[in-house]
């Protein structure tokens, strides 16, 4: 079972339930059936701070991913911690689905390139 914890610190209304549903569909399609995942919606200032702190770039962005276990082999009984996807609500606006899919794929070990773009297209069009 996938357990998704959402947080909204963006100051604007977001579709948390729809984000959880999309995350579940993407993970299931990627053959991930159990694990814990965090999805956070943040404002531009917090996103800028996160990007500066973790990537050394002083600008805001649409999505950041903080992977943990990914698809690594884990000992029996150890729950899978997929990591966190952070979305800047003011940057993604109503078009948050593709950035969320992008962030989830990073948690699963995909890197930028053709394969990731193909997987994004498949999942974002569902």
- Sheet harboring 35-42: ordered strands across? 2-9, 35-42, 81-88, 63-67
Q: Which pTM was predicted?
A: 0.91
Of the candidates 2, 60, 74, which has an alpha carbon nearest to the alpha carbon of residue 31? 2
Q: Among positive and negative, which fits the CA dihedral 47, 52, 55, 58?
A: positive
Q: Can you give the pLDDT at residue 83?
A: 95
Portion of the chain with pLDDT greater than 70, in percent: 98
Q: What is the mean pLDDT of residues 1-25?
A: 94
Q: What pLDDT, on the 0 to 100 scale, is given for residue 78? A: 78
pLDDT value of position 4 = 95
User: CA–CA distance from 8 to each of 39, 60, 75, 83, 90 (Å)?
Assistant: 9, 17, 33, 17, 12
pLDDT at 57: 95
């Amino acid at each position: 079972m996938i357990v998704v914890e959402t947080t909204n610190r963006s100051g604007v209304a977001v579709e948390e339930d729809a984000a959880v549903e999309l995350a579940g569909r993407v993970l299931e399609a990627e053959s991930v059936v159990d694990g814990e995942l965090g999805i956070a919606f943040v404002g531009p200032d917090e996103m800028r701070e996160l990007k500066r702190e973790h990537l050394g770039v002083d600008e805001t962005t649409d999505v950041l991913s903080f992977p943990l276990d990914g698809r690594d082999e884990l000992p029996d009984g150890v729950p899978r911690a997929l990591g966190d996807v952070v979305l800047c609500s003011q940057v993604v606006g109503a078009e948050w689905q593709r950035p969320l899919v992008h962030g989830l794929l990073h948690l699963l070990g995909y890197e930028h390139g053709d394969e990731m773009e193909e997987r994004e297209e498949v999942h974002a069009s569902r």
